[in-house]
A and B are shown apart, each in its own frame.
Chain A
Amino acid sequence: MNKMFTPELEEQLRQVFEGLVDDVTIALFTDGEACYSCPETVGYMREVAALSDKIHLKEYDLQRDAATAAGFKVDLAPSIVLLDAKGDYQGVKFNGIPAGHEINSFIPALLEVSGQASEVPEDLAARVDAIDKPVNIKVFVTLSCPHCPGAVQKAHKLALMNPHVEAEMVEAQTFQELSSKFNVSGVPKIVINDTYELVGNQPIQAFLDEMERI
């Protein structure tokens, strides 16, 4: 299989990964049979993990490691969850290969789960902290969509800020059944608790407006 990274990109990413604070683990779930883009995702993640000592890769099989998968609420393949230095799942998940434009949501997610903090205005932080019910955010994307990583990043940021929130990217073409269930014909499409929908790369306030309705 061809490498995903060019030497130039590898060098740039090595520099970016110098910003990793603590260790971070990529838990990758694939499924032996009929798993679209699984081989590519495995190759891609191995390349990512090779670029920093702080990045660890654990490869799981959705069937064989069913208990582990259930623990992270993983039921699709390929699926990636990011674990912090303690091995804890913080609600940051990617369903489908985070390639194409989605590398722009995947790399920041690695940095953030490793502990790299970013600034959030105080009023917004207070609203995020106040969420006390379980929230699941799905962000449907295509790999050719330049606006999508922004929406994914915001959803993941919310998950990292509040333990009640879980946020997952869903690559719409890989998971067509799920996409048609939620009627996805425009991306990014944000679905909260399988009920509330937003279309477009919305500001974090719009996420919160919907989350507060739960």
Chain B
Amino acid sequence: MKFDLQMDFGSGFSLSPKDSLEEEALYDVLVAGSGPAGLNAALYARRKGLRVAILAKKKGGQLLDTSVVENYLGIQGLSGEQLAGQFLEHVRSLEVPLVEDAEITSVVPGNSFHLVTTATGKTFRTRTLVVATGSKPRTLDIPGEAAYAGKGVAYCAICDAPLFRDKDVFVAGGGNSAVEAALDLAKVARSVTLVHRSRFRADQILVDRLLAHPKVDVHLQTRILEILGERAMTGLLVQDLGTGEPRVLAGDGIFIEIGHIPLAGPFAEHVDTNVHGEILVNAKNETSIPGIFAAGDVTQVPYKQIVIAAGEGAKAALAASEYIQLLPPDQGTLGETDSQAPQFNLSL
């Protein structure tokens, strides 16, 4: 067991004095979300001299659930958390306030500004919004999944892998996150079986590493029909799609890594979305409502990758900046920077 301290300045205690937003203020760019898209949007917007703030549910976004990032240009290998830490540090160096555990519950689009209300009942005004709220893990939606959630069924490999020491575990999925989870689990588990209904979508470099691992078994073209168990999970009922034969595989746990569903939240009531619930944006990240932009995994832009989300965030901020410049003069002035007394916010 590793004891290395993973200090996260800002989760509940903060060294930054500016981590609160003013209800009286008019922000230029309010960013919803603090994953790569949201943070890069904040960075770009702040560098344009705009008054920017970030409302985040989980600081760092899904990067925190990623064990290793090896495909971000210039970063040969960092944990998702370290990379998130570097992103945050960069944004913080420009004194952008970031409020954590701030869930946006309602949005009222307007002509000169939009209103955003959080779960704590605070309402903020902003000329533009960048929606970068990301996504959450997709579930298999099969019998047994909900019943054995936390009793074998898991969605966060870095969190729960230590609990499967010397156990037999499955990973559902065939993309990068599934293969990475399987490789992570293989460090502690007795055996790891990857089950996927079609072919690998993961990068070949990862697939090669997986197939070479002595503890790992792979079942492709295999559908998971049910998660079996009594008090806790005991195995899977699967079907070989080639032969059609169902069979039972025994195991103690399954990590479900089959992609994500967008978290458009209250924004979906206003902006256009596609059948998957993803917010539709154009090449400038504009949504169907003027002044509301979106970026990253919450949009229909294909390939949910850190580098892509970050790039989309930059585009959204530049488009928002352009939009603000074109507003009538009385609405288009740039904001002042925040100056607030230190405040300690325990997240609830």
Q: Which A positions have Cβ atoms within 8 angstroms of B?
A: 4-5, 9, 12, 15-16, 19, 37, 40, 44, 97, 99-101, 103-105, 107-108, 111-112, 116, 118-121, 124, 142-150, 153-154, 157, 172-174, 179, 183-187, 189, 197, 199-200, 203-204
| Contact B8–A101 (Cβ < 8 Å) | yes
Q: What residues of chain A lie closer than 8 Å to B237, measured between beta carbons?
A: none
Q: What residues of chain A lie closer than 8 Å to B162, measured between beta carbons?
A: 142-144, 172-173
| Contact B163–A184 (Cβ < 8 Å) | yes
| Contact B345–A119 (Cβ < 8 Å) | yes
Question: Quick one: CB contact mask for B318-333 with A, threshold 8 Å, 1 for yes?
Answer: 0000000000000000
B154 interfacial by beta-carbon distance below 8 Å:
yes
Q: What residues of chain B lie closer than 8 Å to A99, measured between beta carbons?
A: 3-5
Q: What residues of chain A lie closer than 8 Å to B11, measured between beta carbons?
A: 104, 149-150
Partner of A104, one of B1, B8, B150: B8
A–B pairs, 25, beta carbons within 8 Å:
A5-B5, A12-B15, A16-B15, A19-B344, A37-B1, A44-B3, A99-B4, A100-B3, A104-B6, A104-B8, A104-B12, A107-B12, A118-B348, A143-B6, A144-B161, A146-B81, A146-B158, A149-B8, A153-B346, A153-B347, A185-B232, A185-B233, A186-B151, A187-B160, A187-B163
- B174-230 contacts to A, CB under 8 A, are none
Q: What residues of chain B lie closer than 8 Å to A179, measured between beta carbons?
A: 163
Q: What residues of chain A lie closer than 8 Å to B60, measured between beta carbons?
A: 146
B303 interfacial by beta-carbon distance below 8 Å:
no
Q: Which B positions have Cβ atoms within 8 angstroms of A?
A: 1-9, 11-13, 15, 58, 60, 64-65, 81, 101, 120-121, 149-156, 158-165, 231-233, 252-253, 344-348
| Contact A185–B252 (Cβ < 8 Å) | yes
| Contact A148–B6 (Cβ < 8 Å) | no
| Contact A100–B2 (Cβ < 8 Å) | yes
A37-B1, A101-B6, A144-B158 are known; give 11 further A-B pairs, CB within 8 A.
A12-B7, A103-B6, A104-B8, A111-B344, A118-B345, A145-B159, A173-B1, A183-B232, A184-B150, A185-B253, A186-B160
Give the docked Cα–Cα distance between A108 and B345 (Å).
Answer: 10
Q: What residues of chain B lie closer than 8 Å to A119, measured between beta carbons?
A: 345-346
User: Considering the complex of A and B, which 7 residue pairs feature the smallest CB-CB distances, nearest first?
Assistant: A118-B346, A199-B150, A145-B159, A186-B150, A99-B3, A108-B12, A146-B64
The distance from the CB of B187 to the nearest CB of chain A, in whole angstroms, is 11
CB within 8 Å for A186 and B12 given contacts A121-B120, A145-B156: no
CB within 8 Å for A185 and B150 given contacts A99-B3, A118-B346, A145-B156: yes
In the complex, the chain B residue whose C-beta lies closest to that of A40 is B3
Give the docked Cα–Cα distance between A150 and B10 (Å).
Answer: 12
Partner of B7, one of A104, A111, A150, A186: A104
| Contact B163–A9 (Cβ < 8 Å) | no
Q: What residues of chain B lie closer than 8 Å to A111, measured between beta carbons?
A: 13, 344
Q: What residues of chain B lie closer than 8 Å to A16, measured between beta carbons?
A: 13, 15
| Contact B159–A204 (Cβ < 8 Å) | no
| Contact A142–B348 (Cβ < 8 Å) | no
Q: What residues of chain A lie closer than 8 Å to B151, measured between beta carbons?
A: 183, 185-186
Give the docked Cα–Cα distance between A183 and B252 (Å).
Answer: 11
In the complex, the chain B residue whose C-beta lies closest to that of A99 is B3
In the complex, the chain B residue whose C-beta lies closest to that of A172 is B163
| Contact A183–B231 (Cβ < 8 Å) | yes
Give the docked Cα–Cα distance between A142 and B252 (Å).
Answer: 18
Most B C-beta atoms less than 10 A away, residue of A105, A112, A118: A118
The distance from the CB of B343 to the nearest CB of chain A, in whole angstroms, is 9
Most A C-beta atoms less than 10 A away, residue of B7, B11, B231, B252: B7
Give the docked Cα–Cα distance between A172 and B165 (Å).
Answer: 12
The distance from the CB of B144 to the nearest CB of chain A, in whole angstroms, is 14
| Contact B152–A118 (Cβ < 8 Å) | no
Give the docked Cα–Cα distance between A103 and B6 (Å).
Answer: 7
| Contact B159–A144 (Cβ < 8 Å) | yes
Q: What residues of chain A lie closer than 8 Å to B3, measured between beta carbons?
A: 4, 37, 40, 44, 97, 99-100, 143
| Contact A142–B163 (Cβ < 8 Å) | yes
| Contact B348–A154 (Cβ < 8 Å) | yes
| Contact B158–A186 (Cβ < 8 Å) | no
In the complex, the chain A residue whose C-beta lies closest to that of B60 is A146
Give the docked Cα–Cα distance between A145 and B58 (Å).
Answer: 13
Give the docked Cα–Cα distance between A179 and B164 (Å).
Answer: 12
The distance from the CB of B201 to the nearest CB of chain A, in whole angstroms, is 25
| Contact A204–B348 (Cβ < 8 Å) | yes
Give the docked Cα–Cα distance between A144 and B347 (Å).
Answer: 20
The distance from the CB of A62 to the nearest CB of chain B, in whole angstroms, is 20
| Contact B149–A186 (Cβ < 8 Å) | yes
The distance from the CB of A94 to the nearest CB of chain B, in whole angstroms, is 13
| Contact B2–A143 (Cβ < 8 Å) | yes
| Contact A107–B163 (Cβ < 8 Å) | no
Give the docked Cα–Cα distance between A124 and B120 (Å).
Answer: 10
In the complex, the chain B residue whose C-beta lies closest to that of A144 is B158
Q: What residues of chain A lie closer than 8 Å to B150, measured between beta carbons?
A: 183-186, 189, 197, 199-200
